[in-house]
Amino acid sequence: MFGSCGITRVVNECIGILLSAHGTVENLDDLPAFLARIRRGRPVPQALVEETRHRYQLIGGSPLLRTTREVARKLAEVTELPVFVGMRLWEPSLQQAITEARDAGVTRLISLPLAPQSVQVYHQAAREAAAEVPEAPALIEIPSWGEAPALIDAFVGVIREALARFPESERDEVELVLSAHSLPLRVIAAGDPYEKQFRAMAAAVAARFRNPSRVAFQSQGYDGGEWLGPDLRSTFSSLVAQGKKSVVVAAIGFLGDHVETLYDLDIEAKRLAEEAGLWRYERAPSLNARDSFVTALARVATTLAPSFNGLVRNRGQALNSGIS
């Protein structure tokens, strides 16, 4: 827990924020159990465990949980609301986070997924976890927030950092590839709004640049089948066929560094770009716990959540006028 209920209590009510994320392991011996959760009980091939371990070892482990806790700490300072961290597929679990919130005196808990698309997946997991906690706080669910202006601003900032590595005379010609995690096509066909929401967010980001840009989907699953594309390999080949020489990949589908950025982009995608014939490959930094990202989260939490006795809405107005 970060922050406390003391300054936010109104008529025996306390509002808190639940930051939920996908999850990661800190002990690599937990990988088989973690992968089993991701695969929803389907058998985990030993080759998948070994490959995943290899990737974690190459990047020195995933910083996702540490980063999420740092985001929570800073968000609590900015909003003056208590903030709790729960992982959808690992520890600390959503049930643990909701129990902690209840024990801290929280009565209303803003469910804020650290994934701006398909938020319903995280909200459903939070609802299921809350059902297992006696006298759990009431959940206030944030809608999809990928087009929130402050989030777009944060993405624009890190992409500009990457473009600044190029000579000014070349900068506007560098291709921007805006990437997100792929999903099985059957999930999209079943009605998940993920692709539509991501493309809308990507369009909002691309509109802030003169550079040519396109969308790609990465980190396709182990089991094969049809996945959302185009993937990075075909994207890089297409760029080379069009005479492009340089690319900046901005993984705006990910809010913090994890194996999908530190391995899939910094190692594998860089190799794919070289093999395709691109002269230069750069990746925009992830948002992680940057102040610009924490500002975006604060505005989302305090303006998109349904107000309670005016407290959350009033905090949102203060943040919008007082945070740069």
The token pair that represents 83 in the structure block: 């903030």
Q: Whole-angstrom Cα distance, residue 150 to residue 287? A: 12
* Residue 172 is assigned to a structural domain of this protein: yes
| Mean pLDDT to the nearest integer, 173-186 | 97
Backbone angles phi, psi at 94, to 5 degrees: -60, -35
Is residue 318 domain-shared with residue 259, that is, in the same domain? no
Is residue 204 domain-shared with residue 252, that is, in the same domain? yes
Question: How much is the pLDDT for 222?
Answer: 78
> What average pLDDT does the structure give for the chain?
92
Is residue 119 domain-shared with residue 158, that is, in the same domain? no
Is residue 173 domain-shared with residue 127, that is, in the same domain? no
| Cβ-based neighbours of 224, under 8 Å, separated by 6 or more | none
Task: Give the chain's largest Cα–Cα span.
Answer: 65
Exposed/middle/buried for residue 121 (C-beta within 10 Å: 0-12, 13-18, 19+): middle
Is residue 155 domain-shared with residue 279, that is, in the same domain? yes
Share of the chain above pLDDT 70, in %: 91
Question: How much is the pLDDT for 307?
Answer: 52
Is residue 167 domain-shared with residue 193, that is, in the same domain? yes
* Residue 1 is assigned to a structural domain of this protein: no
* Residue 51 is assigned to a structural domain of this protein: no
Is residue 222 domain-shared with residue 260, that is, in the same domain? yes
Total domains present in the chain: 2
CATH code of the domain containing 257: 3.40.50.1400
Is residue 226 domain-shared with residue 257, that is, in the same domain? yes
**pLDDT one-digit tens code per residue, 113-149:** 999 999 999 999 999 999 999 999 999 999 999 999 9
Parallel, antiparallel or unpaired: strands 175-181 and 246-250: parallel
- pLDDT at residue 8 tops 60: no
**pLDDT one-digit tens code per residue, 72-118:** 999 999 999 999 999 999 999 999 999 999 999 999 999 999 999 99
Q: Which residues span the domain enclosing 129?
A: 15-24+62-145+304-322
Distances (CA, A) of 280 to 65, 149, 165, 233, 246: 31, 30, 11, 15, 5
* Residue 269 is assigned to a structural domain of this protein: yes
Is residue 121 domain-shared with residue 20, that is, in the same domain? yes
Is the pTM of the predicted complex or chain greater than 0.85? yes
Question: How much is the pLDDT for 42?
Answer: 87
- pLDDT at residue 302 tops 90: no
| Cβ-based neighbours of 16, under 8 Å, separated by 6 or more | 3, 5, 8, 81, 82, 83, 84, 101, 104, 106, 108, 109, 110, 137
Is residue 155 domain-shared with residue 278, that is, in the same domain? yes
Is residue 129 domain-shared with residue 208, that is, in the same domain? no
* Residue 265 is assigned to a structural domain of this protein: yes
According to DSSP H, which parts of the chain are helical? 31-38, 46-59, 64-79, 94-103, 119-131, 149-163, 185-189, 194-206, 232-241, 259-262, 270-276, 291-303, 311-322
Other CB atoms closer than 10 Å to residue 94's CB: what's the count? 27
Rg (CA), the chain: 20
Helix, strand, or coil (residue 160): helix
* Residue 76 is assigned to a structural domain of this protein: yes
| Mean pLDDT to the nearest integer, 26-40 | 94
**pLDDT one-digit tens code per residue, 187-202:** 999 999 999 999 999 9
* Residue 193 is assigned to a structural domain of this protein: yes
Distances (CA, A) of 19 to 23, 126, 267: 11, 10, 29
Q: Whole-angstrom Cα distance, residue 136 to residue 132? A: 8
Is residue 108 domain-shared with residue 222, that is, in the same domain? no
* Residue 54 is assigned to a structural domain of this protein: no
Are 256 and 64 in contact by the 8 Å Cβ rule? The answer is yes
